[in-house]
Amino acid sequence: MLFFLVLVLGTMISISSYSWMGMWMGLEMNLLAIIPVMHSPNNAMTTESTIKYFITQAIASSMILFSILLISVNMQIPSMMLNKSTIMMIMNSCLLMKMGAAPFHFWFPEVMEGLSWMNCLLMLTWQKIAPMVIIMYNLYSTTFAEMTIIMSMMISGILGINQVSTRKIMTYSSINHIGWMMAAMMYEKTTWTIYFMIYSAISTSMILYLKWNKISSLNQIQMSQNSKNQKIFFMLSFLNLAGIPPFMGFFPKWIVIQLMIENQQFMMTTLMTLMTLIPVFMYTRPLMSSMMMKTEMKWKTFSNWKSTILSSMNLLTIMGLPTCTMIFSQA
């Protein structure tokens, strides 16, 4: 419990700090707190993932500290004439590495593969808050952001197609959504907040289903001991994560597309929309395998209260698009 409190405190310090060193200290507190949370002495893969995560984050933190040093030198010795946009590009690259965005995603799928589902949820949601907020307030280069968006969406779509592991599918899905969130934060901070909250809700619903059914591979989905109704809810959640209308996952993408069109980013909007079609295949594969093959188990280990929670969460996320549309049209 203590480590979770330090984890939350570190994130809060990072996003509310007025100084670069305060921001860096918050990130370090967050890193030092999550290592004990990730580690499990009974699982060798968890130990390996923890070491990989720590090394990657330590490299990124060192580069952030180096960028802060360059900023301070640039302020004190103006004759050095260091380009501020170049320094900020180095810092933002390190922050992108911290949250696993492409092309700095090399560690992300491997680390996720060895973690428990609840730690995966932590990595997909909470651990992205601090780096994203810092980037949001220090995004000087539009070209840099656009390149990151295109690479995140393209790489996640291509690498996610042949994946069998559900953890890696969720990872590449997260990288794809990072591209959309980067686009949201370029134009309006409120849109990023809405997108992140909806994405977190959908990811939580998906991961709870996978955790409670002990599903770590696509082959296990068709062998799930759940009823047909629960399988349908799960399939709808996958489509929801893909952001296909009329599901709630489409709502934040709808807002981002509208914002980009208002800012006359027609080419970028078209590219992002087309590249979103690639992960749709990644999401529909498990749906087809689950529906085409009918298998039933002779025993059930899925309790009623878990089924109720998942059904309620899925219903909320599936019915969220008309609800959100009505709420925001009134505002």
List the pLDDT tens digit at each of the 331 positions of the chain.
788 899 999 999 999 988 899 999 999 999 999 999 988 777 778 888 999 999 999 999 999 999 999 888 877 776 666 777 888 899 999 999 999 998 899 999 999 998 989 999 999 999 999 999 999 988 877 888 999 999 999 999 888 888 888 899 899 999 999 999 999 998 888 899 999 998 998 898 889 888 887 888 877 766 665 566 667 777 777 888 888 877 888 888 989 999 999 998 899 999 999 988 888 877 777 666 666 655 555 445 556 666 677 667 666 666 666 666 665 555 4
212 token code pair: 């409670």
Write down the pLDDT at residue 235: 77
Residue 323 has a pLDDT of 63
> Exposure string (b/e) for 229-253, b if CB count within 10 Å is 16 or more?
ebbebbbbbbbbbbbbeebbbbbbb
Q: How far is the C-alpha of 204 from the C-alpha of 125, rounded, in Å?
A: 9
Which residue type, as a one-letter code, is found at position 102? Answer: A
Task: Report angle CA 274, 280, 281 to the nearest 5 degrees.
Answer: 110
Please tell me the predicted confidence (pLDDT) of residue 217.
Answer: 81
The angle at the Cα of 304, spanning 231 to 200, to the nearest 5 degrees, equals: 60
Query: From its phi and psi, is residue 264 left (phi > 0), alpha (psi between -120 and 50) or beta?
Result: left
Tell me how many domains the chain contains: 1
pTM of the model: 0.88
Nearest CA to 206 out of 238, 172, 251 is that of 238
Domain that holds residue 320: 2-330
Report the distance separating Cα 311 and Cα 209, nearest Å.
Answer: 10
Predicted pLDDT of residue 299: 47
Cβ contacts of 146 within 8 Å, gap of 6 or more: 268
pLDDT the model gives residue 325:
64
CB 286 within 8 A of CB 161: no
CA–CA distance, 257 with 272 (Å, rounded to integer): 9
Token pair in block for residue 115 = 């973690």
Tokens 């893909």 correspond to: 242
320-328 long-range CB contacts below 8 Å, 24 or more apart? 320/198, 320/247, 320/248, 320/251, 321/245, 321/246, 321/247, 321/248, 321/250, 321/251, 322/246, 323/248, 324/198, 324/248, 324/251, 325/251
Cis omega (within 30 of 0) for bond into 322? no
> What's the rounded Cα separation, in Å, for the pair 88 and 97?
14
